[in-house]
């Protein structure tokens, strides 16, 4: 079993086209340890077996006694639970994801969620390192390009404008989301959750764009145009005041944007 296990890890790593260093980083071990596994001079700790299976996304028939369907279901449960705290308690959100990573080290879905909740610029360097690993290793395009987006934001926050721009240029242009298409084309329960999530996402993006344009007009000295953008943004948030929260959200859109609303009102009163 030792020989088969080492050969299998080496084979899967090469199929995924990653280095021993990247695999080691995801598993929290040294690259020398990975080398020993592959050279049949040592065995992975038994506690790492689920993590290795999860990382390579292999079935139980291909590797250990670990079911891929169960991995995906467990990961989905962790993401759903953490998402309840994304806006109201980012620290708790991160804690839940970190606990998930203890069981599934290197899981790209959990890592993608982690970089989305870490504060910028306070932890930008940590974010950039994780984004680089994700971009190199993940098989999922959505995770890869989301990592590019977050990495660009982190680079911008530490003054690396050219690197931020380079990261953005890796992202393909697309004018629709899976949530939007599902909400428009599917029916009943298949439409319900995507519609709620896309509604909030679209409103978030609209407010962000209005705030950016307000800043632009302010820099240009066009205060009235800047004010108009802020007024529209305020109206958008206020429009959600009487909305209710869906069962898969912790708070309403209005509750999540109270601080943004205060910021807008402060700017309008200046």
Residue 108's pLDDT band (cuts 50, 70, 90): confident
Q: What pLDDT is recorded for position 46?
A: 61
In angstroms, what CA-CA distances link 184 with 135, 189, 192, 197, 220? 31, 12, 10, 13, 39
**Residue 220 clears pLDDT 80, i.e. is over it:** yes
In angstroms, what CA-CA distances link 198 with 25, 55, 78? 34, 30, 21
Residue 102 structure tokens:
């203890």
Residue 87's pLDDT band (cuts 50, 70, 90): confident
Q: Give percent of the chain above pLDDT 90.
A: 69
Domain 2-66 falls under CATH 3.90.1150.10: no
How many Cα neighbours within 13 Å face the side chain of 22?
A: 20
- Sorted by sequence, the CB contacts under 8 Å of residue 23 that are 6+ apart come out as 13, 31, 34, 55, 106
As a whole number of angstroms, the distance between CA 193 and CA 188 comes to 9
Q: What pLDDT is recorded for position 7?
A: 83
Q: What pLDDT is recorded for position 2?
A: 39
Q: What pLDDT is recorded for position 47?
A: 60
Instruction: State pTM to two decimals.
Output: 0.65
Give whichever of 120-124, 135-139, 243-247 has the largest mean pLDDT.
Answer: 120-124
As a whole number of angstroms, the distance between CA 66 and CA 97 comes to 21
**Residue 89 clears pLDDT 50, i.e. is over it:** yes
Residue 5 structure tokens:
């296990």
Helices and strands: H and E segment counts in the chain = 15, 0
Residue 44 structure tokens:
């992975």
- 86-113 mean pLDDT: 90
Q: What pLDDT is recorded for position 182?
A: 98
As a whole number of angstroms, the distance between CA 265 and CA 233 comes to 10
Q: What pLDDT is recorded for position 67?
A: 58
Question: What are 24-75's pLDDT values in tens digits?
Answer: 998 899 999 999 988 888 888 766 776 787 788 875 446 554 456 778 889 9
Comparing 140 with 78, the larger pLDDT belongs to 78
Q: What pLDDT is recorded for position 1?
A: 37
Q: What pLDDT is recorded for position 52?
A: 83
Closest CA to 115 of 89, 136, 143: 143
Average pLDDT of the residues of the chain: 90
> Per-domain residue ranges for the chain?
2-66, 178-269
As a whole number of angstroms, the distance between CA 260 and CA 238 comes to 11
In angstroms, what CA-CA distances link 72 with 24, 130, 182? 22, 21, 21
């Amino acid at each position: 079993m030792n020989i088969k296990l080492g050969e299998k890890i080496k084979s899967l790593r090469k199929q995924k086209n990653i280095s021993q260093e990247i695999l080691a980083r995801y598993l929290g071990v040294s690259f020398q340890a990975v080398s020993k596994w592959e050279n049949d001079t040592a065995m992975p700790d038994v506690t790492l077996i689920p993590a290795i299976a999860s990382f390579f996304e292999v079935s139980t028939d291909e590797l250990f006694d670990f079911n891929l369907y169960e991995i995906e279901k467990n990961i989905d449960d962790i993401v759903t639970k953490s998402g309840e705290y994304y806006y109201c308690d980012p620290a708790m959100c991160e804690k839940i994801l970190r606990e998930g990573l203890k069981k599934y080290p290197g899981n790209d879905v959990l890592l993608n969620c982690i970089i989305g909740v870490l504060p910028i610029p306070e932890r930008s360097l940590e974010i950039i390192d994780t984004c680089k690993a994700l971009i190199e290793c993940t098989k999922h395009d959505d995770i890869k390009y989301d990592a590019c987006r977050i990495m660009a934001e982190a680079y911008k926050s530490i003054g690396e404008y050219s690197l931020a721009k380079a990261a953005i240029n890796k992202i393909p242009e697309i004018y629709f989301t899976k949530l939007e298409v599902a909400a428009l084309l599917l029916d009943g329960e298949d439409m319900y959750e995507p519609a709620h999530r896309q509604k909030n996402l679209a409103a978030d993006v609209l407010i962000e764009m209005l705030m950016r344009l307000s800043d632009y007009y302010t820099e240009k000295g066009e205060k009235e145009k800047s004010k108009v953008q802020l007024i529209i943004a305020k109206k958008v948030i206020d429009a959600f005041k009487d909305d209710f929260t869906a069962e898969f959200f912790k708070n309403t859109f209005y509750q999540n944007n109270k601080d943004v609303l205060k910021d807008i009102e402060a700017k309008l009163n200046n």
